[in-house]
């Protein structure tokens, strides 16, 4: 499978964010990480970690 043959649709590995992201470049600019091609997902073709979930996913401390 060639990732370039699929439309870019993204979902966060931890939450349902990503439906408003239209390209990998846009996702990276907004702070998404760990983006990978996942064509077998029912809701998206790419999986990643959104900026809101990244601190918990990476084990970073966030003062609140």
User: Over the stretch 4-53, which tens digit does the pLDDT of each residue have?
Assistant: 778 899 999 999 899 899 999 999 999 999 999 999 988 899 999 999 99
pLDDT of amino acid 26: 96
| Residue range(s) defining the domain that contains residue 54 | 3-58
In this structure, are strands 33-37 and 10-12 parallel, antiparallel, or unpaired? unpaired
**Contact (CB, 8 A) for 46 and 38:** yes
64 assigned to some structural domain: no
**Residues contacting residue 3 through CB under 8 Å, at least 6 positions apart:** 37, 39, 45
29 assigned to some structural domain: yes
12 assigned to some structural domain: yes
**Residues contacting residue 38 through CB under 8 Å, at least 6 positions apart:** 44, 45, 46, 47
pLDDT of amino acid 64: 56
63 assigned to some structural domain: no
Q: How many domains does the chain have?
A: 1
């Amino acid at each position: 499978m060639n990732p370039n043959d699929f439309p870019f649709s993204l979902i966060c590995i931890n939450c349902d964010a990503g439906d408003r992201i239209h390209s990998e470049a846009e996702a990276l600019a907004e702070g998404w990480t760990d983006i990978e091609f996942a064509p077998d997902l029912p809701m998206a073709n790419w999986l990643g970690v959104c900026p809101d979930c990244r601190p918990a996913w990476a084990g970073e401390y966030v003062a609140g």
